[in-house]
Structure 1
């Protein structure tokens, strides 16, 4: 039976526990608690991540960015900064990701 509310990100090569834990934590912080979880294999190694499916169009299906893309990208950065994912150093005009 297909689950249309979840997506799986399966790893084909071994990933560090810290990196996957950080990715899951960030996803949960942005989309809400329980929206992502690690998937473990038989020997307790991390083999993937199960995440809530996010509504929208896949970037793979888009041949060019829409006219409002620039505004949407800036809006996304603003939302990420409000959730404390990014730190903007205005003097340097640099974004730093907080993990």
Structure 2
């Protein structure tokens, strides 16, 4: 769901399982930032922005993995290549990139 007047960020509400300190949770909201909200030093592959005007398309989510004080992004899901990001000021937010996938034929 896109915030009115905010073209740089959308929220994706997911119904998923995760565990924090032994407690189980089943819902979570992910904040997705457009390319201009991502640090400019990142390589273009990671700085992929949100496609404009597409509402029904194939997307892949690239997750940032929060740790204590830092978080990382997996550049390629089939490899262990990653880049380092500065400390996440709000550890309960997971930043992810939305990438448009090629149309299947």
TM-score (norm 2): 0.23
User: As a proportion of its length, which structure holds more helix?
Assistant: 1
